[in-house]
Amino acid sequence: MSKKNGTPKGTTQKDNAILQELIKASQGTSYSKWLHVVWNNQGILTNQLSEHGLQSNNHHVSSQVLNQYIEPLGYKIIKQIKTKPNESWAWFIQPVDKKPAAQLALDLDGGELQ
């Protein structure tokens, strides 16, 4: 991981500040290091997490626990199938849209709320 002025390669100062807030929100859990690894390795495969010192009997539970802490800040760990469903999945931290599905449907149709 290359750094320039303390910011991980591929991230901006703003990204670094966001990551720090996510880590701060998850302090006190044994999973806060996971955020740093996934943030700096977007698309990392589940089987590669252990190469970064992240150990778990159930990686899915790890992401669920972290999402409880970071979703209120507008971010979520998502996992996507990279090849086949029974193989490693790719992990990402992405912003989430906080609008409920019904509101999104109204927005797409150009409708307004009363």
Measure the CA–CA gap between 27 and 32, rounded to whole angstroms.
6
Q: In this structure, is residue 72 part of a structural domain?
A: yes
Q: In this structure, is residue 60 part of a structural domain?
A: yes
Q: Are 33 and 54 in contact (CB under 8 A)?
A: yes
pLDDT of residue 57: 81
Indicate the number of domains in the chain. 1
pLDDT of residue 86: 77
CATH of the domain at 34: 1.10.10
Torsion angles phi and psi, residue 107, rounded to 5 = -60, -40
Which residues of the chain fall below pLDDT 70?
1-15, 98-114
pLDDT of residue 51: 93
pLDDT of residue 87: 80
Q: In this structure, is residue 88 part of a structural domain?
A: yes
Q: In this structure, is residue 97 part of a structural domain?
A: yes
pLDDT of residue 15: 64
Q: In this structure, is residue 114 part of a structural domain?
A: no
**Domain span at 36:** 3-109
Q: In this structure, is residue 70 part of a structural domain?
A: yes
Q: In this structure, is residue 104 part of a structural domain?
A: yes
What pLDDT digit, counting tens, does each position of 39-64 carry? 999 999 998 999 999 988 888 889 99
**Residues whose CB is less than 8 angstroms from the CB of residue 69 and which lie 6 or more positions away in sequence, other chains included:** 22, 25, 26, 29
pLDDT of residue 7: 47
